[in-house]
Amino acid sequence: MQETAYAKINLALHVRRRREDGYHELETLFAFVDGGDTLSAKPADSDRVTTLGEFAGGIDNPFDNLVAKALSGLPRTGGLDITLEKVLPVAAGLGGGSADVGAVFRLVEALHGLPDDWHERAAKLGADVPCCVRSETVIGRGTGTELEPLDSDLVGTPVLLVNPRVPLSTGPVFKAWDGHDRGALPQESAKEIALAGRNDLEAPAFKLCPAIVQVLDALKADNPCKADNPWLARMSGSGATCFALYDTLEARDAARERLNTVHPDWWTLSGKLR
């Protein structure tokens, strides 16, 4: 069996307050791109995890990473031999590890079903994990684990992901947030929320990783034909990946070709919103 670990992006991310438990109260609009890491699984006597791909070296020991932890935390009969092809950069604001866990949950669901408390089990593995299990556009509240369904009017929207190949850990970005509540997430359609929303972690992330500013400037840059200008470009999560949304596939592809020429050292991925 095979599953895609769909890249997660935060179309908007509002940080409301620091909590006494050390976490932050969030309001965010999760969305997913139709591309990402690939997990292949086959029955085995015991659980095994093998990692391949460009970014395989950036994750923990395969026997102690989130995929292995997800396997050990789900009741099953028999083991699974999983090969993870790591396409998404690590510490990139794309929920890469959480997306991998979400794919594991779907693999186990197809073979054995999921326990009734799967949401709680997922949340213990990470705040982004519950939304990654279904990989659908939803509103996240609390630490991101309280999910509200939303009929998305953005399904099929062309999207371009760009990362300067600079890892940025989540903890330091949240720690550098200024603590100012800039208001709630709008109560609108997915597109209206994305347009009217913001990412409150951009300012602290910019200070820690100035390359993000270069990425956003390049995505928003005016071009002579203006054919590949996005209608929205923003940092995802705690960075350093940025996303750009386009009206047409041609505009998205033209933008990617331009960026790959001007910044061949940057990582890019093109797709559509699920």
Instruction: Let me know if 128 is a catalytic residue.
Output: yes
Considering the candidates 8, 37, 69, 86, report the single residue annotated as catalytic: 8
Question: With left for phi above 0 and alpha for psi between -120 and 50, is residue 203 left, alpha or beta?
Answer: alpha
Instruction: Let me know if 207 is a catalytic residue.
Output: no
CA distances from 73 to 2, 63, 117, 206, 244 (A): 20, 13, 11, 36, 36
CA–CA separation, 122 and 129 (whole Å): 6
Q: Please count the CA atoms within 13 angstroms of the CA of 16 that sit on its side-chain side.
A: 13
Sign of torsion, CA 136 142 143 146?
negative
Considering the candidates 69, 86, 100, 128, report the single residue annotated as catalytic: 128
Count the Cβ atoms, other than its own, within 10 Å of residue 156: 12
Tell me the two tokens of residue 111: 């073979």
Count the Cβ atoms, other than its own, within 10 Å of residue 1: 13
Residue 6's Cβ-count burial label (10 Å; 0-12, 13-18, 19+) is buried
Q: Which residues pair with 29 in a beta bridge?
A: 12, 139
User: Among all residues, which ones are annotated catalytic?
Assistant: 8, 128
